[in-house]
Structure 1
């Protein structure tokens, strides 16, 4: 049976019990008052990541049954109304077939990463401005950087636990900002299209060193992430590439120095304020545009994740991080 024919955990209604194959990402053993031991499973169903409880069971007992992190299992799951919405495992057995592989359960962007990458490169090439042959286009710099780190860029998560924290999350986040930037340039023609699109494409490039992303999309902060952070590393990368280009192409046109400075400024300021990690606040229209598009995409992705935890017409149990209040999931579907 194709995996897409199974109901996802987000689609199931409260009090409903259903069966489907899942990928066990992690198992955590907890002891409650009275001595009862329970297991908290982190499950992937190909559409999202969920926490589910298996009561009165120890990790050793689960292992004896062949249930362990990094494996596929058949699970019977009941949806409960606890803390808004929760999942309880009523039965679970190891999957012994060959129809499904780990890759079937990994959360990935809804658009193929290669399609997104090619569209962004095409958009950058289309926006390139060589000042009548007098300058090296700034967009070429963005393309050079993306081409150098393509493998990491299309694979990396954009966070550990915040927005776009899945395999390919970095390019998906950048792509949606990039496509939005293309649209607002039509509304605000005074914006420097080449500058804004270049910054949209590489504003988070430093995250490929800030996080280490494994094959299923889980990420951890690296030593470089702790010491420097993606904002500094992204800005430093721009400077390094410009210096390297000049050293290797001494007789070729130069980048417009002012545009390189502004691109660097946009990477340093895209978090909007020092309180949120920006090295400097936005100081040009393009920097404001990038910041608000970055924040908008992060908020929308967070809403998408929170909606998977509640039923239509309900509100979130808690105020999600980065928001000032609880979220409401509309009772109707925008796709109807």
Structure 2
């Protein structure tokens, strides 16, 4: 089967043809090392979150063996405490460049593992990866604060940093729900995870004061919707509230509200959030707006400074391409991607005491 045949379901008019989707998947595959690692681009670093994003994109394109190799890289290089370092030079596990361990980076593999299992039905893979997900989730929840939010990271000396990031906690909430789904498939009852998920989701939805103020970043705007913590009318209200602050018609989404810089990753992620919120037409329009970032090799430039009419930085990252393929996969009906990012079938966790109805 050719690449275009594998990506025939990723056709979205004005965004991708089957051949273009195949070229994007091939671009990600070209970045992947023989050991399964997927750095941002060759010669740059790997971080676990973006590595997983690119691996999920490979699954949407039918590159299941490559995706499995990416998860095997995580399994081989997981630290004894369940974590991964924040960065590795060119994906070389022997050359970590940031010895901190970030909570959302360590949580996200659960999302990818569930996505790969739903893409392939590979029970052997699921069973093999369950101990990896279990250990990573335990590491992450050891950083949960009394208010439900996730502390950002452990420093290289092991010190827990209690400061919390809204985007990271929202992503962690999504990952914890995926970990609970995997626990259910394994027959493992984890009520402590269920309670942690409930507390974390409540913090993301209702307590912005528990997080560092990063409101100038578009991720803090859309990620609670993308990650499934905020849905329904609240999601619509959230997306409407700051639309004009971040969306530049015809160009994409600003990374930060006060800079004339649109970025491909944020644009594709907003499209995925819009799909999750039931705004498919807007999602397609947003994806079409970033077509100017597509390069000849099928990858995407990280960003564009429109005030200067200049691509910046001059890099094409595997995770930006991955975000595009995931958004297109959701919009074109890919079952695994819709299940993982739609979230209707994922466990919701237990509501914290403050949110329970009186008997």
Indicate the TM-score class for this superposition, using the shorter chain for normalisation: under 0.3
Larger Rg, first or second structure (1 or 2) = 1
Higher strand share: 1
Q: What TM-score do the two structures reach when normalised by structure 2?
A: 0.26
Task: Give TM-score scaled by structure 1 length.
Answer: 0.27
* Structure showing greater relative contact order (alpha-carbon pairs closer than 8 Å, 6 or more residues apart): 2
